């Protein structure tokens, strides 16, 4: 597993951790959604390693994205529709997911996102919802990607919107925490809170009471990443009183098949 290799170069430790993880997998309730079981496995890995194996690579990709940030921001503000361009860039940023890939073509993905059509594109509904709402809850996904989100959030705040960005309460995979938000300069742009959880995606039964209150009270929610889609695109969560928009790239066969799309498709999808 990537997490184990990132966490230690000692082959004996790697073998011991993998054995424990395999034992954990055998005991996993396979009827549970993937985000649940994967959360427990990564919790176990962190416990056995005694550290967050993704910490170094998260900081590395924050720095790479910071280097790209000035040019990307310029591209957005010089475009005909900065909101549209910022949305496309935010989706492009979702490819930076080390729980899925070991390498990324950042520039190529940016160009693809800007010039290729989205497999599901509900931008008109998204723009209408943004114009109608003064407050937005923005669920962040990965480190590195958070710089792409920062540009979209800057566009939204420039439109007079109050944005509350949400990071994970504790480390899991390469998901953004408050440390990543600070490193990306996001805390200078908008309010940033954590959801009180170390779960993959957003599993409401494991998030804090404060976050649950926020989630229920906001009428417009922007949700980044496949993990958030898997855990929030559920009948018991979707409400007529809320607009939830999912911005992500479909990275696995199961989700792609469920949506009737090819793997790697990029989406701006309304719940």
Q: What is the pLDDT of residue 178?
A: 98
Same domain, 6 and 76: no
Whether the pLDDT of residue 125 is over 70: the answer is yes
Say how far apart CA 177 and CA 127 lie, in whole Å. Answer: 28
In the structure, what pLDDT confidence band is assigned to residue 191 with cuts at 50, 70 and 90?
Answer: very high
Contact of 208 with 198, CB cutoff 8 Å:
no
Q: What is the pLDDT of residue 230?
A: 94
Give the residue among 72, 41, 238, 240 at the shortest CA–CA distance from 144.
Answer: 72
In the structure, what pLDDT confidence band is assigned to residue 137 with cuts at 50, 70 and 90?
Answer: very high
CATH of the domain at 227: 3.40.50.10880
Higher per-residue confidence, 64 vs 135: 135
Same domain, 127 and 75: yes
Which residues, 6 or more positions from 9, have their beta carbon under 8 angstroms from its beta carbon? none
Over residues 169-191, the mean pLDDT reads 97
Over residues 209-219, the mean pLDDT reads 97
Over residues 68-85, the mean pLDDT reads 96
Same domain, 41 and 142: no
In the structure, what pLDDT confidence band is assigned to residue 196 with cuts at 50, 70 and 90?
Answer: very high
Same domain, 69 and 120: yes
Same domain, 75 and 41: no
First to last CA, the chain: 33
Helix (H) or strand (E) holding 165: strand 162-167
Same domain, 122 and 187: yes
Domain tally, the chain: 2
Q: Rounded to the nearest 5 degrees, what angle is found at the Cα of 128, between the Cα atoms of 124 and 129? A: 115
Same domain, 38 and 105: no
DSSP-derived 3-state class of residue 90: helix
Most confident of 18-27, 58-67, 152-161, 245-254: 152-161
Same domain, 15 and 59: no
Residue ranges making up the domain that contains 9: 2-20+28-49
Same domain, 60 and 11: no
Over residues 230-256, the mean pLDDT reads 92
Over residues 72-93, the mean pLDDT reads 96
Same domain, 42 and 135: no
Same domain, 14 and 136: no
Same domain, 89 and 42: no
Q: Using the 8-state DSSP alphabet, how is residue 118 labeled?
A: P
Q: What is the pLDDT of residue 194?
A: 99
Say how far apart CA 170 and CA 11 lie, in whole Å. Answer: 27
Over residues 221-231, the mean pLDDT reads 96
pTM: predicted TM-score of the whole model, two decimal places: 0.92
In the structure, what pLDDT confidence band is assigned to residue 97 with cuts at 50, 70 and 90?
Answer: low
């Amino acid at each position: 597993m990537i997490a184990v290799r990132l966490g230690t170069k000692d082959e004996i430790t790697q073998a011991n951790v993998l054995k424990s993880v395999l034992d954990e997998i055998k005991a996993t309730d396979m009827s549970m959604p993937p985000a649940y079981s994967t959360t427990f496995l990564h919790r176990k890995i962190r416990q056995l390693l005694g550290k967050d194996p993704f910490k170094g690579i998260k900081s590395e990709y924050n720095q790479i994205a910071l280097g790209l940030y000035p040019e990307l921001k310029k591209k957005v503000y010089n475009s005909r529709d900065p909101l549209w361009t910022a949305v496309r860039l935010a989706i492009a940023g979702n490819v930076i997911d080390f729980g899925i890939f070991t390498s990324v073509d950042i520039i190529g993905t940016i160009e693809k996102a800007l010039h290729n059509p989205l497999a599901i594109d509900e931008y008109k509904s998204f723009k209408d919802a943004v114009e109608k709402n003064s407050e937005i809850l923005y669920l962040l996904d990965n480190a590195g990607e958070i710089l792409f989100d920062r540009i979209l959030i800057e566009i939204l705040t420039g439109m007079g919107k109050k944005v509350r960005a949400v990071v994970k309460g504790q480390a899991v995979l390469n998901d953004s925490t408050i440390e990543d938000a600070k490193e990306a300069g996001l805390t200078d742009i908008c309010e940033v809170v954590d959801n009180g959880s170390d779960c993959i995606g957003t599993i409401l039964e494991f998030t804090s009471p404060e976050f649950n209150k926020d989630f229920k009270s906001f009428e417009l929610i922007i949700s980044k990443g496949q993990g958030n889609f898997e855990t929030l695109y559920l009948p018991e969560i979707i409400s007529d009183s809320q607009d939830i928009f999912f911005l992500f790239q479909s990275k696995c066969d199961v989700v792609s098949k469920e949506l009737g799309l090819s793997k790697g498709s990029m989406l701006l999808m309304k719940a």
